[in-house]
């Protein structure tokens, strides 16, 4: 199937590692030009050169801490200067720290989680939406988590802010559907990245992180952890021309981990 992404301009956030990196590569393989965003310019520069060389696409990058409003504004300006438009936004960044209610509700932690897990996505959408509306074509996909379907113990901030973001995305999806713009989210289950290793270390106690990850794999009906490429394939489809009639969904990519009937 031709996804119809050749020549589209995709802004990929959190592109230097994990699922974001896999999304950048999958979109490049489909012929999309890329604007890569993460905090480390060095990593982005190497990735942009690698993907441009391998897939013959144009790949630019900008380094920014997306939890900071002024850096989001700067990166949006840089992206506009580099391409003049954006057709696709993949909204993504690192997750908030693990912790239950009491460990998470200091003013400082609440603010940090809000900035990173809610506001970063909203700011990027706010910046790119007017152009998509003008051109009557756009794809917005945010990366959230299975926690929006079923909250996860000891991830209070993720449970709180990703659910809020999902509500906002659903609202937006209905408002812009008539402008040819779709708004969806992808909800990974256990996916083998450095973020998952960090969570395994945080919940390891006396066990090794590898033992914790093996237990996670066993508890998943597929019997293994997911791969970043498997999440990226779902993201790329939702970004595609072919997915023009899919909007407002929160799609789990979780090896069967969620047990609810409609998730």
Stretch that binds ligand NAD, among 49-57, 92-100, 128-136, 202-210 (CB under 6 A): 92-100
Distance CA 186, CA 189 (A): 10
Residue 243 beta carbon to ligand NAD: minimum distance, rounded to whole angstroms: 20
Q: Does 74 bind ligand NAD (CB under 6 A)?
A: no
Nearer to ligand NAD, 62 or 138 (CB): 62
User: Site mask, ligand NAD, residues 26-45, x = CB under 6 A?
Assistant: ------------xx------
Q: Does 188 bind ligand NAD (CB under 6 A)?
A: yes
Contacts of 16 (CB under 8 A, 6+ apart): 36, 38, 39, 40, 43, 44, 47
Distance CA 132, CA 109 (A): 34
Considering only residues 41 through 70, tell me which ones interact with ligand NAD, judged by CB under 6 A.
Answer: 65-67
Instruction: Give the 3-state secondary structure of residue 7.
Output: coil
Q: Report the run of H or E that residue 130 belongs to, with start and end.
A: helix 120-135
Distance CA 254, CA 252 (A): 6
Residue 26 beta carbon to ligand NAD: minimum distance, rounded to whole angstroms: 13
- The residue from 55, 161, 190, 245 that is catalytic is 161
Nearest CA among 115, 136, 131 for reference residue 65: 115
Q: Does 19 bind ligand NAD (CB under 6 A)?
A: yes
Q: Inter-axis angle of helices 120-135 and 69-83, to 10 degrees?
A: 30
Q: Is 245 among the catalytic positions?
A: no
Catalytic positions, written as ranges: 161
Interacting residue ranges for ligand NAD, rule: CB under 6 A: 14-20, 38-39, 65-67, 92-95, 116, 143, 145, 188, 190-191, 193-196
């Amino acid at each position: 199937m031709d996804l119809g992404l050749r020549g589209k301009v995709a802004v990929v956030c959190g592109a230097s590692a994990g699922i974001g990196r896999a999304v950048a590569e999958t979109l490049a393989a489909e012929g999309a030009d890329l604007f890569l965003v993460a905090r480390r310019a060095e990593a982005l520069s190497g990735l942009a050169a690698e993907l441009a060389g391998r897939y013959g696409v144009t790949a630019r990058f900008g380094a920014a801490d997306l939890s900071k409003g002024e850096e989001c504004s700067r990166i949006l300006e840089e992206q506009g200067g580099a391409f003049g438009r954006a057709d696709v936004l993949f909204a993504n960044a690192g997750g908030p720290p693990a912790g239950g209610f009491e460990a998470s509700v200091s003013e400082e932690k609440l603010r940090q989680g809000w900035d990173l897990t809610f506001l970063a996505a909203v700011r990027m959408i706010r910046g790119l939406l007017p152009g998509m509306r003008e051109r009557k074509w756009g794809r917005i996909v945010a990366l959230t988590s299975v926690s929006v379907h079923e909250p996860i113990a000891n991830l209070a901030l993720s449970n709180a802010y990703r659910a809020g973001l999902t509500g906002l995305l659903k609202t937006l999806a209905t408002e812009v559907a008539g402008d040819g713009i779709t708004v969806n989210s992808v909800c990974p289950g256990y996916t083998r990245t450095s973020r998952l290793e960090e969570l395994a270390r945080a919940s390891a106690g006396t066990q090794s992180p590898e033992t914790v990850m093996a237990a996670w794999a066993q508890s998943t009906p597929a019997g293994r952890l997911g791969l970043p490429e498997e999440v990226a394939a779902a993201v790329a489809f939702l970004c595609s021309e072919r997915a023009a009639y899919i909007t407002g969904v929160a799609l789990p990519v979780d090896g069967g981990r969620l047990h609810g009937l409609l998730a």
